[in-house]
A and B are shown apart, each in its own frame.
Chain A
Amino acid sequence: METTRETVLHGWHVEQGANMALFGSYHMPLWYRSGTKAEHLAVINAAGIFDTSHMAVVSLSGRDARGLLQRCFSKDLRQCLGRGPLVDGRAVYGVFLSDDGTVIDDAIVCQLAAESYMVVVNASMGPAVALRLGENVGGLAVVINDLSDRIGKMDIQGPLAARILGRVLREPREALANLAYFAFRGGFGDFVAQRPVVTVDGTPLLLSRTGYTGEFGFELFVTIERLPALWESILAAGRDDGLLPCGLAARDSLRAGAVLPLSHQDIGPWPFLNNPWQFALPWDGGGKAFTKDFLGGPALLAASWNKHTLPFAGFDARKIGAGEGSQVTDEKGRTIGTILTCTTDMAIGRVEGQIRSVAEDPGFVAKGLCCGFVLLDEPRLPGDTVVLSDGKRRLTVEIRADVRPSRTARRPVSAMPGL
């Protein structure tokens, strides 16, 4: 049996009365005393912080670090920022595939310098990704380090994230101004910063404009022993603005409404095709070939995979658990697929059939909509309905191109409440 692991904030979570549960091998907070709904809405209306130090980090350094990523990672680093190459201070999202085109894990790759990269992967996946990179080094000059359990990471997400974070930074304007979506500044530990970002108490951090909620915000990386003080100081800085600590339940419902996949649930041991995340692959303009050769790429091009991963949203908060015994059928009851994720986005509701968010109208009382992903044996288009079933209950849901409207993740820093 695998041992249960704890993050450095575990004691804090328990002390705050969090409802704790196992996530992977980590004992993590599902929600705190304020409850999931309040936490979810805090990220839409104000801000929330998440302990994400269960996630793993692998470092790559050396002359051929970029070459190894070109070989193993799905993004073409020569042309992934528009048509331009990945450059210092920028990050990209992609996947690591097995040779057969199935998913090992998804990842964000951050370029600190031409010969230094930080690869952020999911909980417990550090060893697997480091191994995958290591077994493909083949003569390249690159040093790979699995930094699992040695990195402190927390996310601050929501429209007030910059304002609150700015209060704990020594030079907030320099750190935050014009920081683009998927850009980062600073560094920590072995990730040496060209321009350091430092908190008022002198903690160096790497501040990345990324996240897993679909909302404006940052992921913060520090050496592990610095995380509890950073957590407490940000919490204190945001308390009067409605900042809440948020658990994994709110993280799950926020990301589902933002149509973001959970690795090993929405993407996993099946070909990474026919899903909403094809931007993670280096498709050329025609959609028939890739702009580079990479591990798993040839298998995808040759695959006869005809299942479809599609986002959906329901018509009220009711849901059908994604688990054994649940399935997707057509209106006549014929089985056409399985449920990958089914949760409730508490910030949205239907008005005359259209999905509305509290972000658009603070007076709107959202009752929540179930949403998530289905894996279907046949294609469906946005607007089509399918039926989720657990054998007893049946729930009609709508296939969607997108779910929660008016998300803030991509808005410029200058458009958000200021410092």
Chain B
Amino acid sequence: MKEFDELLFNEEFRYTEEHEWVSVGGAELMVGISDYAQDQLGDIVFVEMPEVGATFARGEQFGTLESVKAVSELYLPVGGEVVAVNEALGDSPELINQDPYGAWIVKIKPSDTAELEQLLNAESYRNMLRG
């Protein structure tokens, strides 16, 4: 398990209390899970992703992550339409462990970018984890 000072954060992203991240800016936003989340889950062995074109409300489950330890649900940080899923994760789910902020899971077209304001920035997320 990583010590707190070993955890990686992307300062540009926004975070949920359930440890998803979402990129900010542009018409399409990337969604993934944080370094803390992948470290807690252990090796990811399967990623169940939604269909392109599916729409979800903010906080709605859009997929699952299977680690060696458990099955975890993925919740969408902001509502919107799925415009892409990361096909590379089908063959190589371990990319999430290796590069949690590069290995996006879905790209979404947000229905209301104002929802981003309700998420944690890197500093608040860091503080939440620090307890």
Residues of A whose CB lies within 8 Å of any CB of B are 17-20, 30-31, 35-38, 249, 253, 316-321, 343-344, 346, 367-368, 390, 393
Instruction: State how many angstroms separate the Cβ of A18 from the closest Cβ of chain B.
Output: 7
* Given A18-B1, A317-B66, A318-B66: A35 touches B45 (CB 8 Å cut-off): no
* B42→A319 contact, CB < 8 A: no
* B97→A319 contact, CB < 8 A: no
Q: List 23 A-B contacts (CB under 8 A).
A: A18-B1, A19-B39, A20-B1, A30-B69, A31-B43, A35-B42, A35-B97, A37-B45, A37-B94, A249-B68, A249-B69, A253-B68, A317-B66, A318-B46, A319-B66, A319-B71, A321-B70, A344-B45, A346-B43, A346-B45, A367-B45, A393-B64, A393-B71
* B1→A37 contact, CB < 8 A: no
Q: Tell me the count of chain B residues lying within 8 A, CB to CB, of chain A.
A: 20
Question: Interface readout for B80-97 with A: 1 if CB under 8 Å, 0 if not?
Answer: 000000000001011001
Question: Interface readout for B54-90 with A: 1 if CB under 8 Å, 0 if not?
Answer: 0000000000101011110000000000000000000
Cα-based distance from A154 to B40 in the complex (angstroms): 26
Contacts of B2 in A (CB 8 A): 17
Cα-based distance from A346 to B42 in the complex (angstroms): 13
The reply to whether the CB of B28 lies closer than 8 angstroms to some CB of chain A is: no
Q: Which residue of A lies closest to B1 (CB)?
A: A19
* Given A344-B66, A346-B68: A316 touches B46 (CB 8 Å cut-off): yes
Contacts of B46 in A (CB 8 A): 316-318, 367-368
Cα-based distance from A316 to B64 in the complex (angstroms): 14
* B68→A37 contact, CB < 8 A: yes
Q: Which residue of A17, A346, A367 is within 8 Å of B1 (Cβ)?
A: A17
Contacts of A317 in B (CB 8 A): 45-46, 66, 93
Contacts of B39 in A (CB 8 A): 19
Cα-based distance from A19 to B39 in the complex (angstroms): 9
Contacts of B42 in A (CB 8 A): 19, 30-31, 35-36, 249
In the complex, besides A321-B71, A344-B45, A346-B43, 12 extra interface pairs with C-beta distance below 8 angstroms are: A19-B1, A19-B40, A20-B1, A31-B43, A31-B68, A35-B42, A36-B68, A37-B94, A318-B48, A321-B70, A346-B45, A346-B68
Instruction: State how many angstroms separate the Cβ of A372 from the closest Cβ of chain B.
Output: 13
Q: Which residue of B lies closest to A32 (CB)?
A: B1
Cα-based distance from A368 to B3 in the complex (angstroms): 29
Contacts of B70 in A (CB 8 A): 321
Q: Which residue of B lies closest to A395 (CB)?
A: B71
Contacts of B64 in A (CB 8 A): 393
Q: Which residue of B lies closest to A20 (CB)?
A: B1
Contacts of A36 in B (CB 8 A): 42-43, 68-69
Q: Which residue of A lies closest to B93 (CB)?
A: A317
Cα-based distance from A320 to B72 in the complex (angstroms): 11
Report the 6 A-B pairs with minimum CB-CB distance, sorted nearest first.
Answer: A36-B68, A317-B46, A317-B45, A37-B43, A19-B1, A35-B43
Contacts of A368 in B (CB 8 A): 45-46
Question: Interface readout for B23-56 with A: 1 if CB under 8 Å, 0 if not?
Answer: 0000000000000000110110110100000000
Cα-based distance from A197 to B65 in the complex (angstroms): 47
Contacts of B48 in A (CB 8 A): 318
Instruction: State how many angstroms separate the Cβ of B33 from the closest Cβ of chain A.
Output: 16
Instruction: State how many angstroms separate the Cβ of B4 from the closest Cβ of chain A.
Output: 12
Contacts of B93 in A (CB 8 A): 317
Contacts of B45 in A (CB 8 A): 37, 317, 344, 346, 367-368
Cα-based distance from A37 to B68 in the complex (angstroms): 8
